Amino acid sequence: MKVLVIGSGGREHSLVWKINQSPRVSKIFCAPGNGGLRSLAECIDIEATDILSLKKFVKEKRIDLTVVGPELPLTLGIVGEFEREKLRIFGASKKASKIEGSKSFAKDLMKKYGIPTAKYCTFTSRDEAVAYIKEIGSPVVIKADGLAAGKGVIPAHNVQDAIDAVDLIMIKKAFGDAGEKIVVEDLLVGEEASFLVFTDGKTAIPLPTSQDHKPVFDGDKGPNTGGMGAYSPAPIVTEDLYRKIMNEIMIPTIRGMVAEGRTYKGVLYAGLMISDGKPKVLEFNARFGDPETQPLVMRMKSDIIPVLEATIDGTLSQIKIEWDERAAVSIVMACEGYPGSYENGFEVIGLEKVSNRKDIEVFHAGTALKSGKTVTSGGRVLCVTAIGSGIEEAIALAYDAVEKIHWKGVHYRQDIGKKALDRSQEKKTHK
Ligand code: AMP
Ligand code: GLY
């Protein structure tokens, strides 16, 4: 069969890598793709949001299955567009992806169905938001309602910073229309974890637990990024917590979405804050996480194609997914300056030194090919992923590979996986 993957990040490279292992797949296309996945897929110069061109391409090439990576095509309605023409596509519908596309929608859903999350209020008036903040005090988190490429969430530790954040979003319109409405919510403290399930709206099959590293610098310092590294499993998620997450969060959310007439099919990703053994939802995403997908697919032993198809067909109850017991770690190598402004076009040196290493994959994100050389072309450039007998070995393997690669101004965190290592003595982790 022929498969199209939509997107251009490390997540999409890892999906292409996994799909390529399926004996059923003869050809993979990626739109628009990146410099690194060209050996596995034919990159097509169509943007992920150009739904009509994507549909035309799929019909012309008689592609059997399309897999959507990023959120934007989902919230724009790519799934409905494809399904109307009987084209098979993996991803959440426009109505279902509102769970990521509108934070106020997600919060109201959680409130209605009793899903644990931070206390919040929604505003369309700047003055009312400011009055509320003055009343409740700090710390609070100010969130643009709509999609803001992961930048629309501003934690504020005093009232003035909170008001400034409201003004940035609502008056200066830093995130455009996404900030016409805002959510003001209590700041939660604890440790974050990512929890993803495949769901067809009836059955939910969890992927193993994972954890992202959002801030740009070691020790969780500096501004939040798309993610500077990830690992799986996440030892913070004990067996007990795992059951709570499924029973109190994932299953009620999936049922709630059905009850709202927004049946959710695809990957549902909950970003969680864990405190005192209790999980609360920070956000839902309507897609695979980036970089969580990279360690997760390294641990996936089963063919991914039947899982994607069963999600579309509503037959996930017949599927069993086998996972590697070992641990996987991904380290993101980024450009100096990211997540702010950065320069591009630097040659990436040393890739050949790690290209044939066992248990290591270098997933590309912001790379391009220029005169036969790999050059940087984005903020997050590479995602070096290793699988090892335990978290310690996976970390060592991944950093050993990272150290062989460089370019001018390369930046990566030195402490990816440290939280897992610190907890690795604890037993009863859900693998
Ligand atoms: P979101 O886009 O809602 O996922 O938020 C992105 C990141 O902001 C999360 O992964 C957290 O690190 C942080 N965040 C969001 N909401 C809260 C909250 N209520 N309390 C503390 N941190 C938060
Ligand atoms: N890892 C964060 C995200 O995918 O949104």
Q: What is the pLDDT of residues 280-316, one digit of tens each?
A: 999 999 999 999 999 999 999 999 999 999 999 999 9
**pLDDT of the residue at 207:** 98
Do 195 and 313 lie in one domain? The reply is yes
**Region 59-71: what's the mean pLDDT?**
98
Position 431 confidence tier, pLDDT thresholds 50, 70, 90: low
Q: What is the tens place of the pLDDT at every residue in 219-240?
A: 999 988 999 999 999 999 999 9
Q: Looking at ligand 2, which residue's alpha carbon is closest to its atom 4?
A: 289
Among the candidates 149, 171, 186, a domain finishes at 186
The pLDDT value given to residue 424: 75
Position 430 scores a pLDDT of 61
Mean pLDDT of all residues in 100-104: 97
**Dist. CA 373–CA 352, nearest whole Å:** 12
Q: Which atom of ligand 2 is nearest to the CA of 285?
A: 5
Give a yes or no: residue 112 inside a domain: no
* CA–CA separation, 254 and 265 (whole Å): 9
CATH number at residue 171: 3.30.1490.20
Is 60 exceeded by the pLDDT of residue 428? no
- Model pLDDT, residue 425: 61
Structure-token pair, residue 286 = 């309507």
Average pLDDT over residues 245-269: 98
| Centre of ligand 2 from the C-alpha of residue 226, in Å | 6
Considering its fold, how many domains does the chain have in total? 4
Residue 40 lies in a domain: yes
Which ligand 2 atom is the nearest neighbour of the CA of 283? 5
348 in a domain, yes or no?
Answer: yes
* pLDDT at residue 137 is higher than 80: yes
Ligand 1 mean position, distance from CA 350 (Å): 35
The pTM assigned to this predicted structure is 0.96
427, pLDDT greater than 60:
no
Cβ(292) – ligand 1 distance below 6 Å: no
Does ligand 2 lie within 6 Å of residue 292's CB atom? yes
Cα of 175 vs centre of ligand 2, distance in Å, is 18
Pocket lining: 214 vs ligand 1, CB cutoff 6 Å: yes
For 340-351, what is each residue's pLDDT tens digit?
999 999 999 999
DSSP assignment string, 244-285: HIIIIIIHHHHHHHHHTT----EEEEEEEEEETTEEEEEEEE
**Minimal-distance CA residue to ligand 2 atom 5:** 289
**Residue among 48, 35, 54, 100 at smallest CA distance from 366:** 35
Mutate to test the pocket of ligand 2, among 232, 269, 272 (most ligand atoms within 8 A of CB): 269
Q: Is residue 361, in this structure, part of any structural domain at all?
A: yes
Rounded to an integer, the average pLDDT of 330-343 is 96
pLDDT in tens, 362-373: 999 999 999 989
- Between the CA of 271 and the centroid of ligand 2 the distance, in Å, is 8
User: CA–CA separation, 193 vs 144, rounded Å?
Assistant: 22
> For the domain that residue 298 is a member of, what is the CATH number?
3.30.470.20
- % pLDDT > 90, the chain: 94
Q: Among the atoms of ligand 2, which is closest to the Cα of residue 212?
A: 1
Predicted pLDDT at 1: 98
Domain range holding 407? Answer: 327-430
| pLDDT above 90 (res 46) | yes
User: Is the Cβ atom of 73 under 6 angstroms away from ligand 2?
Assistant: no
Q: Give percent of the chain with pLDDT exceeding 70.
A: 98
pLDDT, averaged across the chain: 96
Nearest CA to ligand 2 atom 3: 289
